[in-house]
Amino acid sequence: MNDTIAVKKPFDAHVHFRQGAMLRAVVPLTASNWSRAIVMPNTEPPIETVEQAAAYKKEILRAVPRGNHFEPLATFYLTKNLTPEEIEKGVEGKICKVYAVKSYPYGATTNSQWGYRSILEAKEVLKKMEELGMPLLLHGEVHVNEAGEEEDPYESERLFIQDILPRLLDEFPKLKVSLEHLSTATAADFIEKNGEEGRLVATITPHHLLYAREEAEPHVLLRCKPRN
């Protein structure tokens, strides 16, 4: 009996290419091992329109080595400039098919200065996404609270799961949600109890789970904000 499974060219559900020289260095590595990938939109400037998504996709495809078949799947960055009209255009796909919207909380990660302090502020865009079936990819953290105070980054996912995520799901019951790079027991328990295919899922990055806070703090290269 064969107890192994061989996946020739799997699907990458979360990849960052950035731009310029970094993009040209990373794309060939991804294209040689993966068939398709959800491409994150926190570039500078961010991907907020279908025209920007189309231009970014072209830049990525130019960096794919000849002979490799690779399909980058475009996403929008949930900024205050992203409109319901762009969601419609992205779903329609005439200029560029857009597969999801990524939410970065303000101040939490690379190029997150354009994100909302609370995703619950983006009601009109979220309504349109819910209506058209556009998935929401959540960087689930509370980095700056409603009083404008910075939270402990190692507690930020737990705070999001316990407060913001339940309110989001209650207000938009048909919105498709993926909790990205889940990395706490709190988040795992929430998905275990509430997860549902086509409704609420999660991605996991193993390096977030390997080290506790006290192990990561003294070592700069381990500081991917692992949680206890």
**Model pTM?**
0.90
Average pLDDT of the segment spanning 6-10: 82
In this predicted structure, the answer to whether residue 204 has a pLDDT above a threshold of 90 is: no
CATH number of 11-222: 3.20.20.140
Q: How far is CA 30 from CA 43, 70, 111, 181, in A?
A: 18, 8, 22, 18
Give the list of residues 6+ apart from residue 209 with CB closer than 8 angstroms, or none. 183, 226
What is the model's pLDDT at position 227?
Answer: 45
For the stretch 153-184, pLDDT in tens is 788 899 999 999 999 999 999 999 999 998 88
Q: Which sequence spans correspond to the domains of the chain?
A: 11-222
8 A C-beta contact, residue 180 and residue 140: yes
Residue recorded with tokens 């209506």: 131
Average pLDDT of the segment spanning 208-213: 74
